Amino acid sequence: MAVEPQSTPSAPPVAGPYSPALRAGNWLVLAGQVGIDRGGRLAHGVEAQARQALQNIEAVLSDCGASLSDVAKTTVFVTDMADFAAVNAVYGAAFGDHRPARSTVQVAGLPAGASVEIEVWAYVGS
């Protein structure tokens, strides 16, 4: 199975040697997104960061011909589990009735001083 970087012109600039999205067979694997806009500015507050991270994910998926409805698995990283309810509300609004499998993990820190990061796997078929 070939692993191919995908063109993601809508993604915020990357901060290291990685691809925002790879296609691996029938899967799109997205790098984690924090709440940074395309200009490199971090949104203020955990809810705004979660919203921006999900908008970034939607943009990258769209660049790859997919959408949030194709997402099968997410991992949500938060720096404070006390923010879980706020992030969960934003997450639920973005996904609507679609309910991907999800893990949520508290971490000591995230890039750019972010409070939340979200990564996804989307099934896109052949």
CATH number at residue 54: 3.30.1330.40
Task: Report yes or no on 3 lying in a domain.
Answer: no
Task: Report yes or no on 16 lying in a domain.
Answer: no
pLDDT reported for residue 1? 79
106 φ/ψ sector (left φ>0, alpha ψ -120 to 50, else beta): beta
Task: Report yes or no on 63 lying in a domain.
Answer: yes
Rounded to whole angstroms, the Cα distance separating 113 from 34 reads 9
This prediction has a pTM of: 0.96
Distances (CA, A) of 57 to 2, 36, 43, 75: 23, 11, 15, 12
pLDDT reported for residue 51? 98
Which domain, by its residues, includes 84? 23-123
pLDDT reported for residue 53? 98
Instruction: Going from the first residue of the chain to its last (126 residues), give the mean pLDDT of each consecutive group of 10, the final group possibly shorter.
Output: 94 92 98 96 98 98 98 98 98 98 98 97 92
How many distinct structural domains can be found in the chain?
Answer: 1
